[in-house]
């Protein structure tokens, strides 16, 4: 049976965050410091041309010279529109650009074009045509401080460089199953993009595909399938995001040189629930993240893919997960150092007939460690060894996972420990386990 939520949950002091599940599940969108999340503030451009509600918006857009600006007045503005000149469209939140019932609402097709502050309402509803609230196809474009409602897809960026998507609120729909909804943010062949400080709710995925050097930071993703899904996303940085009530927090496929740092991923639930997943990737750093009450905290499948690559898992807190770290087959080149493992039902699981003994474990804290520290240096005097008869059974017979957490498998583990003639095989060895979690040090 799952353990109750841990309150509060804290990360290491160096990360500068003190978080709990009460904050993660707050009824209003919350920032990392506990303040209510707000749209980015966008200033009215100087010398902009006002556009009254109900006026011909496309004609007004076409009449602006390069470098000019339009300021939409409160009310309904009929779309769709295409921006083909480097210009700015600004408006307050109650200036609403309506789809008119067909196609993508706003197309930014000019380098340096900016869409600021307005609300974009609805698309044509063509799921297979990628109808979006905003479609960006030009370099150096900016989408900032807007609200997206009633859209199949939110903000789409295709084959554009240095695009910035910041401080927006994208709300998906709850009328259909999550797999049939559109993506809140989708980057396709988009290098050096920045996606930051957005609130993304009730959509399907945030997608970063075939895109290099993306920066995804300080976003909040709630009630999604994939919080952020990378495919061929080399050089990406995922920093300080909050993923709550998702199926998968961050999944990295076929990508190299990726850093995941100081993120919170809470309640990645369901049979496919994973906080952080890596597949066929390499040179990945997973540092100072808080993974709480997830089905699987960290999942590695054929990662690192190459012998000259490494995966570093350092300074993370894995709490109240059903499985803290799962390896699909043996894993070489993986370093697990200085992490906290507390309240998890299974500390590590190995599928595919391999083991985790090739992983370098060092200086981790395990709440089930039964060793001692006679010299008082904070490090256990005997190694931490994990042996699990039930884990061995489930590796051979995955269907036994149905009984995970039940008295039946607990009794099997107890009997295996009591019987000196049978010792379950080792799953992991940490030669220098810490005696206390990082979170209890430094007066936190």
Residue 230 phi/psi, 5-degree rounding, is -100, 135
pLDDT band at 18; cut points 50, 70, 90: very low
Tell me, what DSSP letter sits at residue 279?
A: E
So what's the pLDDT on residue 34? Answer: 46
329: left (phi over 0), alpha (psi -120 to 50) or beta: left
Tell me, what DSSP letter sits at residue 310?
A: -
So what's the pLDDT on residue 16? Answer: 34
Q: What percent of the chain clears pLDDT 90, i.e. is strictly above it? A: 67
So what's the pLDDT on residue 323? Answer: 93
Distance CA 325, CA 84 (A): 49
Distance CA 253, CA 387 (A): 30
Tens digits of residue pLDDT in 39-84: 888 999 999 999 999 999 999 999 999 999 999 999 999 999 999 9
Distance CA 63, CA 48 (A): 12
Quick check: 353 and 326 in contact, CB under 8 A? Answer: no
Most confident of 8-17, 190-199, 396-405: 190-199
Q: DSSP 3-state assignment of 78?
A: strand
- Whether residue 9 is predicted with pLDDT greater than 50 in this model: the reply is no
CB-CB neighbours of 101 under 10 Å: 11
pTM: 0.86
**Exposure of 317 by Cβ count < 10 A (0-12 exposed, 13-18 middle, 19+ buried)?**
buried
Distance CA 253, CA 217 (A): 19
Distance CA 381, CA 263 (A): 32
Close Cβ partners of 128 (under 8 Å, ≥ 6 residues apart) = none
Distance CA 36, CA 15 (A): 21
Distance CA 101, CA 299 (A): 42
Quick check: 108 and 134 in contact, CB under 8 A? Answer: yes
Using alpha carbons, select from 336, 360, 340 the residue that is nearest to residue 434: 340
- The answer, yes or no, to whether the previous bond of 401 is cis (omega within 30 of 0) is no
367: left (phi over 0), alpha (psi -120 to 50) or beta: alpha
User: CA-CA distances (angstroms) from residue 290 to 20, 287, 298, 320?
Assistant: 10, 9, 11, 11
Q: Is the dihedral of CA 416, 422, 424, 426 positive or negative?
A: positive
Tens digits of residue pLDDT in 172-224: 877 778 877 889 999 999 999 999 999 999 999 999 999 999 999 999 999 99
Lowest mean pLDDT among 26-40, 166-180, 263-277: 26-40
Tens digits of residue pLDDT in 285-311: 999 999 999 999 999 999 998 888 999
Structure tokens at 305: 């893919």
Distance CA 136, CA 116 (A): 14
């Amino acid at each position: 049976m799952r353990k109750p939520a841990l309150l509060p949950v804290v990360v290491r002091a160096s990360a500068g965050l003190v978080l709990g599940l009460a904050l993660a599940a707050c009824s209003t969108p919350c920032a990392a410091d506990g303040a209510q999340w707000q749209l980015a503030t966008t200033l009215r451009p100087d010398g902009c041309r006002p556009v009254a509600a109900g006026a011909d918006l496309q004609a007004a857009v076409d009449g602006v010279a390069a470098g000019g600006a339009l300021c939409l007045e409160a009310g309904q503005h009929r779309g769709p529109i295409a921006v083909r000149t480097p210009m700015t469209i600004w408006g307050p939140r109650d200036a609403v650009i309506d789809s008119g019932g067909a196609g993508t609402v706003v197309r930014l097709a000019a380098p340096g074009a900016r869409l600021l502050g307005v609300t974009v309402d609805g698309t044509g509803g063509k799921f297979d045509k990628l109808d979006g609230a905003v479609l960006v196809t030009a370099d150096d474009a900016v989408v900032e401080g807007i609200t997206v409602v009633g859209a199949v897809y939110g903000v789409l960026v295709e084959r554009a460089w240095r695009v910035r998507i910041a401080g927006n609120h994208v709300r998906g729909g709850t009328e259909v199953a999550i797999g049939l909804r559109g993506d809140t943010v989708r980057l396709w062949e988009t290098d050096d993009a920045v996606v930051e400080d957005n609130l993304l709710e009730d959509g399907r995925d945030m997608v970063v595909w075939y895109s290099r050097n993306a920066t995804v930071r300080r976003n909040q993703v709630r009630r999604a399938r994939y919080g952020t899904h990378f495919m061929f996303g080399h050089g990406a940085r995922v920093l300080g995001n909050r993923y709550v009530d998702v199926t998968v927090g961050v999944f990295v496929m076929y990508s190299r040189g990726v850093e995941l740092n100081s993120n919170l991923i809470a309640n990645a639930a369901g049979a496919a629930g994973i906080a952080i997943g890596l597949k066929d990737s390499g040179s990945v750093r997973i540092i100072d993240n808080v993974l709480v009450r997830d089905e699987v905290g960290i999942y590695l499948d054929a990662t690192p893919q190459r012998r000259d690559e490494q995966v570093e898992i350092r300074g993370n807190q894995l709490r109240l997960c059903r499985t803290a770290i799962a390896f699909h087959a043996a894993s070489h080149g993986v370093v697990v150092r200085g992490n906290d493992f507390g309240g998890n039902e299974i500390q590590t699981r190995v599928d595919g007939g391999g083991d985790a003994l090739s992983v370098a474990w060092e200086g981790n804290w395990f709440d089930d460690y039964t060793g001692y520290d006679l010299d008082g240096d904070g490090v256990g005097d005997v190694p931490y060894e994990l042996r699990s008869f039930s884990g061995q059974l489930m590796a051979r017979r995955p269907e036994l996972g149905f009984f995970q957490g039940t008295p039946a498998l607990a009794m099997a583990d107890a009997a295996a420990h009591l019987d000196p003639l049978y010792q379950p095989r080792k799953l992991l060895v940490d030669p220098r386990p810490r005696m206390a979690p990082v979170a209890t040090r430094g007066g936190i």
